[in-house]
Amino acid sequence: MKKLGVVAFGGNALLQAGQKGTIDEQEANAYEASKNLLNLINRNYNIVITHGNGPQVGSILLSEQAGNQVHGLPTMPLDICVAYSQGFIGYIIEQQLKNVLAAHDLDRDIISIITQVLVNKNDPAFQNPTKPIGPYYNKEVADKMAKETGSKYVEDKKRGGWRKVVASPKPLVISNKKSIEQLARSGQIVIAVGGGGIPAFYVEPNKLQGIDAVIDKDLASALLAKQIGADKLFILTDVAKVCLNFNTPQEKTIDRMTIAEAEKYLAEGQFAEGSMAPKIRAAVDFVANTGKDAIITKTTLLGVDDGGTRIVMV
């Protein structure tokens, strides 16, 4: 019997540091990332792919602002920009994964599902934006843009720049989860919950409406993995293993981490917000609620024995 895995591609799966973000770059990155899914397919996994959209949705917002300022075009709200990103990123992953499968004489339908995710409009995250999106700026430019737009910018010391941050409410319900599970268990590869999902809430009973936010894709991926009964959650990032004392002379990689250890390290501030901390919380949430393992690793180690950091119950 096949196992079901949820694979959360990090933003670097499509757009890597130092790149401009051209479609050629993103397609080449998606092809390389997709090749690593073969490890899971060969290990008898059915697959649901989720993905981030931080760089892309930020670029969409900038294009929207430029269109408004130069041509007077209406600016689309953030939930619509998330939907834009779901569509084109899903298309890129679907196309490049299809190319990878064809190169290895494999035939699977690959289906991208535009996914809404229910949030609470009163989530305190709306009063405290933390989710970084878009390109990196130096402090001078970030301060200028913050003053002009009223947006908040924070420093990413790891990558040496400042990024805009937006509200990131907790995901509550994944829409169409039954269809996602049925398609995946029947052998199709499903792309869903792109960018954490399109944030929506009930403005009144039985009436959904979008809301300005970007949901953390790792938390949404963990929620999806729980709700479809996945056997394992793979969270992909740009490091091989989770580290303590990251980027210091005392840096130490972790092969295996229990929930209790993960929560202890989180409380100590070992993991940066907007970077590794949400991934650890997502892994802990999945493991605590299912008793199954989660893996945090880089894309090239997906499905490799002893690759990455394994988060376990005890």
Q: Of 131, 177, 226, 241, which is the active-site residue?
A: 131
Could you confirm whether 217 is annotated as catalytic? yes
Could you confirm whether 245 is annotated as catalytic? no
Distance CA 140, CA 309 (A): 38
Q: Of 35, 226, 279, 298, which is the active-site residue?
A: 279
Strand partners, 165: 132, 152
Q: Of 35, 164, 177, 217, which is the active-site residue?
A: 217
Amino acid in position 197: G
Amino acid in position 251: E
Start-to-end CA span in the chain (Å): 26
Distance CA 112, CA 86 (A): 9
Check: CB of residue 215 under 8 Å from CB of residue 132. Answer: no
Could you confirm whether 36 is annotated as catalytic? no
Q: Residues near 215 by Cβ (< 8 Å), separated by ≥ 6?
A: 117, 119, 168, 169, 171, 195, 196, 197, 199
DSSP string, 67-95: HHHHH-PPPPPHHHHHHHHHHHHHHHHHH
Please give the C-alpha separations between residue 98 and each of 114, 129, 180, 275, 308, in angstroms, as whole numbers.
19, 37, 19, 30, 26
Q: Of 5, 10, 11, 194, which is the active-site residue?
A: 11
Strand order in the sheet with 116-118: 173-174, 116-118, 198-204, 207-210
Check: CB of residue 307 under 8 Å from CB of residue 301. Answer: yes
Q: Of 5, 12, 58, 134, which is the active-site residue?
A: 12
Distance CA 9, CA 298 (A): 9
Check: CB of residue 193 under 8 Å from CB of residue 239. Answer: no
Active site residues: 11-12, 131, 217, 279
